[in-house]
Amino acid sequence: MLSGALLSGCNSKFFSPTAPSVTSEKGSVGKDGLISVDTPEGQIRWSPYIVVQPDGGAVEGYRKALTEMKARGNVRGVRIPLNPFRDLVVQLVSSLGIEITGIIPNEELLGPNPEAMMDRYISIYPDIKILQIGNEVSTLPGTETMTVEQYMNVFKKIYSHVQLRHPSVILMTQSTFGAGFYGSNELRKMVELGLKPDTISPQRVIVGVNVYTDDALSEYVSTRNQYLDTSRGGYRIWVMECGHSVLSEHISKVKSFYPRLTSALGAERIYWYVLWGGDVGATDANFGLIQNPRDPSRMIYSPLGKALAGVQ
């Protein structure tokens, strides 16, 4: 997750790989993994995945927005940070038939027994089959951070344990930082520390990254090309956060950036950050597709949220 100050360069022209021409019927997935959505600014290519923050007070607003978006085929999966109890948001999303990728909290990776911790989360969330092991573990504000060396030591323990005890669960690496070169450098270190097909199977692990800016995209493409095996049968890349801090720029961000994430980086999925980032005054409020979900009668949508939900 990034502050608004870091997003001023998101639509710059320093790096503009050309996306191939891909067409598909509205609502159907094209060869690039994207679907067509009509907006007031023209048709966009959208990846039907969204980050959802756990907040029990927002459940009814979430229900309204997600039901509308799902009915139009514009949300198929969400990423949710998990709590050590089965919270109301997970229950809601599961009831709607939307796939969940759950994030194991960063602080849980600092404990003495990561194997037992994974057993506990998998028992609490038996229906979640994709688990992301942390997010921005060395940079996320407000959390106790860890080095990438510490992270990979824990990740390899978790990987070995999950393959043995929970083979139906797919793991995802932490999403590395989404602006500048820091995240791509950290991903390179992860490869050097063992993120390789001969030790960690690409059939059992997805590589997660956050990408908000052009420079981050350029750096990640370089890292993928030089360090990461994404050939046929190699690692899949999912962009787990991409967004914009200006409501009026949401549609243009998707229109200009999503096709480049698929064509240049080979991203299989892109998760928009975020469904709701807090109401007016909150740091991430203007990233959100909706506001005021705690009072659905007063809930409002961003321009992109309106297009996805089919509301005026």
Q: Prior bond to 59 cis, omega within 30?
A: no
Inform me whether the pLDDT recorded for 22 exceeds 50: no
CA distance 204 to 167: 8
- In this prediction, residue 1 has a pLDDT band, given cuts at 50, 70 and 90, of low
Q: What angle separates helix 250-263 from helix 214-227, to the nearest 10 degrees?
A: 10
- In this prediction, residue 27 has a pLDDT band, given cuts at 50, 70 and 90, of low
Q: What is the mean pLDDT of residues 100-111?
A: 97
Question: Are 269 and 49 a contacting pair, CB within 8 Å?
Answer: yes
Name the helix (H) or strand (E) containing 207: strand 205-210
Residue 262: both structure tokens together = 């698929």
Q: Report the percentage of the chain scoring pLDDT > 90.
A: 85
pLDDT at 135: 96
Q: Report the percentage of the chain scoring pLDDT > 70.
A: 91
Question: Are 6 and 212 a contacting pair, CB within 8 Å?
Answer: yes
The per-residue pLDDT for range 168-196, each reduced to its tens digit, is: 999 999 999 999 999 999 999 999 999 99
pLDDT at 141: 81
The per-residue pLDDT for range 202-220, each reduced to its tens digit, is: 999 999 999 999 999 999 9
Q: What is the DSSP letter of 246?
A: S
Inform me whether the pLDDT recorded for 23 exceeds 60: no
Question: Are 93 and 275 a contacting pair, CB within 8 Å?
Answer: no
**What ranges do the domains of the chain cover?**
33-309
CA distance 255 to 250: 9
Strand partners, 272: 50, 242
Strands 130-133 and 170-172: parallel
Question: Are 172 and 132 a contacting pair, CB within 8 Å?
Answer: yes
pLDDT at 28: 73
CA distance 32 to 177: 24
Q: What is the DSSP letter of 234?
A: S
Strands, E, within 40-153: which ranges? 42-46, 49-51, 77-81, 99-104, 130-133
CA distance 270 to 169: 21
> Is the dihedral angle over the CA atoms 30, 99, 220, 284 positive or is it negative?
positive
Using alpha carbons only, give the angle 105, 109, 110 rounded to the nearest 5 degrees. Answer: 120
Strands, E, within the chain: which ranges? 35-39, 42-46, 49-51, 77-81, 99-104, 130-133, 170-172, 205-210, 237-242, 267-272, 290-291, 300-301
CA distance 213 to 263: 16
CA distance 196 to 215: 25
CA distance 161 to 284: 36
Inform me whether the pLDDT recorded for 26 exceeds 80: no
Q: Which fold has domain 33-309?
A: TIM Barrel (3.20.20)
Strand partners, 239: 209, 270
Q: What is the mean pLDDT of residues 229-239?
A: 89
Which residue is listed with tokens 């050939």?
A: 231
pLDDT at 2: 57
Please state, as a whole number, how many other Cβ atoms lie within 10 Å of the Cβ of residue 108: 18
- In this prediction, residue 12 has a pLDDT band, given cuts at 50, 70 and 90, of very low
The candidate with the shortest Cα–Cα distance to 69, out of 48, 39, 38, is: 48
The per-residue pLDDT for range 284-304, each reduced to its tens digit, is: 999 999 999 999 999 999 999
Strands 42-46 and 35-39: antiparallel
Inform me whether the pLDDT recorded for 10 exceeds 80: no
Inform me whether the pLDDT recorded for 24 exceeds 70: no
